[in-house]
Amino acid sequence: MRSAIVLVGGAARRAGGREKYFFTFQGKTFIERLIDTLREVVDEIVVVARDPEQCERFSHLQGVRCTSDIRQGLGPIGGLHAGTLAVHGEYIFVAACDMPCVHPGVVEMLFDAAVGYDAAIPSWNADMLEPLHAVYRRSALIEYLEEHESLSLRPMIWSLNTRYVSVEAIRQIDPDLLTFTNINNLEDLESIDRSERHCEVDGTGQSSP
């Protein structure tokens, strides 16, 4: 069984506190786009909100459960902790909510790469990783996160038996690496709206030009 966790509890300071997951791109909200993609590749999807009230905003998403942070104020680490306890799959794809172009083929590739490891994390280089577009082994995360106090994902990644998947390998599936497109502020949103780039995936698993 494969699971996915989508973290939605951030303050989105760079977007002026706006709900980034409800930004729209090519006719759908970010969260709808992401969930539609994940439905193709996982058996279970859990959205992790900051608190139970925030979960009400996601009740329209069919077949998606919402849970909320147990350990508050830890940022994405807190969301990862609550989400990991809520899912059942041994391997979990973890996504931020501001990635409207996640590619199902890349998610599949990360699940395959994670077998025999605690995590499969895309890496641009030794310093630049994509820990919120990555696959983790549930039991390894639980063991680590129960004790973890740091807000940073980095110590966790270092302590796990992590497989780094180079973005060059990912280009074989998603040549322009659109899967990592993330929107931190309104300028980013305007720039993808204006761009000619589309991140629909056609039947061949390739992003369209």
Ligand X SMILES: Nc1nc2c(ncn2[C@@H]2O[C@H](COP(=O)(O)OP(=O)(O)OP(=O)(O)O)[C@@H](O)[C@H]2O)c(=O)[nH]1
Contact between 11 and ligand X by CB under 6 A: the answer reads: yes
Contact between 75 and ligand X by CB under 6 A: the answer reads: yes
Q: How many other CB atoms sit within 10 Å of the CB of residue 111?
A: 18
Measured from the CB atom, the residue of 99 and 114 that comes closer to ligand X is: 99
Stretch that binds ligand X, among 29-37, 48-56, 122-130, 136-144 (CB under 6 A): 48-56
Strand pairing category for 119-123 and 162-166: parallel
Binding ligand X (rule: CB under 6 A), the pick from 4, 8, 87, 153 is 8
Measured from the CB atom, the residue of 42 and 74 that comes closer to ligand X is: 74
Contact between 12 and ligand X by CB under 6 A: the answer reads: yes
Q: Which of residues 107-146 bind ligand X (CB under 6 A)?
A: 132
Phi-psi map region of 12: left, alpha, beta (phi>0 left; psi -120 to 50 alpha): left
Check the annotation: does 48 bind a ligand. no
The residue number whose beta carbon is nearest to ligand X equals: 10
Contact between 50 and ligand X by CB under 6 A: the answer reads: yes
Measured from the CB atom, the residue of 104 and 131 that comes closer to ligand X is: 131
Binding ligand X (rule: CB under 6 A), the pick from 23, 64, 76, 87 is 76
Closest approach of ligand X to the CB of residue 204, in Å: 29
Measured from the CB atom, the residue of 152 and 206 that comes closer to ligand X is: 152
Check the annotation: does 9 bind a ligand. yes
User: CB–CB of 15/186 below 8 Å?
Assistant: yes
Catalog residues that contact ligand X under the rule CB under 6 A: 7-14, 48-50, 69, 75-76, 78-79, 96-98, 132, 184
Annotated binding site: 7-9, 20, 69, 98
